[in-house]
A and B are shown apart, each in its own frame.
Chain A
Amino acid sequence: MRWETWSDFWFMGGYGLYVWGSMGMTALLLLLEIWQARVAHMNALALARTEHSLEQT
């Protein structure tokens, strides 16, 4: 391991803002995309189910 302490790790030799700004935005957008894909899938299924129940009646 290259880091003596956690604060060394977060400090990143003075580049903390840039390195963590990059990693953080990447993580945030990936999570948003996964969440959005999930919501869209649930909506599509709900729509198909509505049609299914309409056909039954």
Chain B
Amino acid sequence: MTMRWFYYAAPQTFYGLAGRLWPWLAAIALALTMAGLWVGFGLAPTDAQQGEGYRIIFVHVPASWMSMVIYLSMAFWSVLGLTFNTRLSGMMTRALAPTGAMFAFLSLWTGALWGKPMWGAWWVWDARLTSELILFFLYLGYMALTSAIDDVRRADRAGALIAIVGAINVPIIYFSVKWWNTLHQGASVSLTRSPSMAQLMLWGMLLMALAMWAYTLAIVCYRVRTLIIERERHTDWVQALPEVAGVKA
């Protein structure tokens, strides 16, 4: 089993695997998005308190979850990279970062558009919003740092440190609505109690969350292949790829 993991951790093998996976993941993401939008905008009822405005939830909550999950996976790959010194880890971390930054931005953007009609303010400096903003800056910091260092392996190691140290912010975001008094509402979905939403609202949100999971996996598989080609283009196996050797430059 261990052998198998290291086998797929070789960039050459992973290039092929990711290339077979991403079209399927992209198709699944598209199908789930269609289903999620249909349930969220076609079937889910109007909210008793927030009218139709609550429908922002169908992107806001999934995007916020993804922004946290992606950061944790960057930390996970970084730990692997620093421990085993595998080449793939740094590439996976880098492939994840732009998508994570995008979801963090979307979380803030959709949050502002939700806050304005419901609280009367685009932005407030409360614990939930501030910690999510810090997450967005951590993504930007990671990307700026790794792209500022020319030696890719050193850049990966420096980036891994930001990813690991910054991961402490993720539980702070998640529990901020419990630990502090905030304007932001508490969790609508939790593992320990039944959700405080209508069934169809919940389904719409879960479908959209699954769609964003599939999208993230697809774009990361796609982007990591780009990074593999960039970094390994001098190797014989890249030079022998049909998409390289078979096409005139």
Residues of B within 8 A of A40 (CB): 223, 226
Q: Contact flags (1/0) for B104-132 with A, using CB distance below 8 Å?
A: 01100110011011000000000000000
A-side interface residues toward B, CB under 8 Å?
1-2, 9, 12-15, 17-19, 21-23, 25-26, 29-30, 33-34, 36-37, 40-41, 44-53, 55
CB <8 Å contact, A44 and B109: no
**A17 shortest CB reach to chain B, Å:** 8
CA distance A25 to B56 in the complex (A): 12
Partner of A49, one of B51, B55, B105, B244: B244
Can you name 17 A-B pairs with beta carbons within 8 Å? A2-B44, A12-B52, A13-B52, A18-B53, A18-B117, A21-B113, A25-B109, A33-B102, A36-B98, A37-B219, A40-B223, A41-B222, A44-B227, A44-B230, A45-B243, A50-B249, A52-B239
* A48 CA to B235 CA, complexed, in Å: 10
Asked whether, in the complex, the Cβ of A22 is within 8 Å of the Cβ of B114, the reply is yes
Cβ distance B15 to chain A, nearest Cβ, rounded Å: 12
* Alpha-carbon gap, A44 to B18, bound state (A): 16
Partner of B55, one of A12, A26, A51: A12
Q: Which of A13, A15, A26, A34 contacts B219 (CB 8 A)?
A: A34
> A2 and B46: CB pair below 8 A?
yes
Given contacts A29-B106, A37-B223, A48-B244, contact A53 B53 (CB under 8 A): no
Query: What is the interface residue range for chain B against chain A?
Result: 35 or more
The chain A residue with its CB closest to the CB of B227 is A44
Shortest Cβ gap from B108 to chain A (Å): 10
- The answer to whether A48 touches B51, judged by C-beta atoms less than 8 angstroms apart, is no
Residue in A40, A50, A55 whose Cβ sees the most chain B Cβ within 10 Å: A40
Instruction: State in angstroms the CA–CA spacing of A28 and B226 once bound together.
Output: 22
Residue numbers in B under 8 Å from A37 (CB-CB): 219, 222-223, 226
Q: Is the CB of B239 within 8 A of A41?
A: no
- Does B99 lie within 8 Å of A33, measured CB to CB? yes
Give the shortest distance, in Å, between B31 (CB) and chain A (any CB): 15
Q: State the CA gap A1–B43 with chains docked (Å).
A: 6
Q: Which residue of A lies closest to B229 (CB)?
A: A44
In the complex, chain B residues whose CB is within 8 Å of the CB of A29:
102, 105-106
* Identity of the chain B residue whose Cβ is nearest the Cβ of A17 in the assembled complex: B113
Measured between alpha carbons, how far is A24 from B234 in the docked complex, in Å? 41
Please name all residues of chain A whose beta carbon is closer than 8 Å to the beta carbon of B248 when the two chains form the complex: 49, 53
Report the minimal beta-carbon distance from B139 to chain A, rounded to whole angstroms: 13
A33 to B66, CA, bound (A): 15
Does B170 reach chain A (CB closer than 8 Å)?
Answer: no
Asked if B106 and A26 make an inter-chain contact with CB atoms under 8 angstroms apart, the answer reads yes
Known: A18-B117, A22-B110. A44 touches B45 (CB 8 A): no
CA distance A45 to B242 in the complex (A): 11
CA A55 – CA B229 in complex, angstroms? 17
B233 pairs with A22, CB closer than 8 A: no
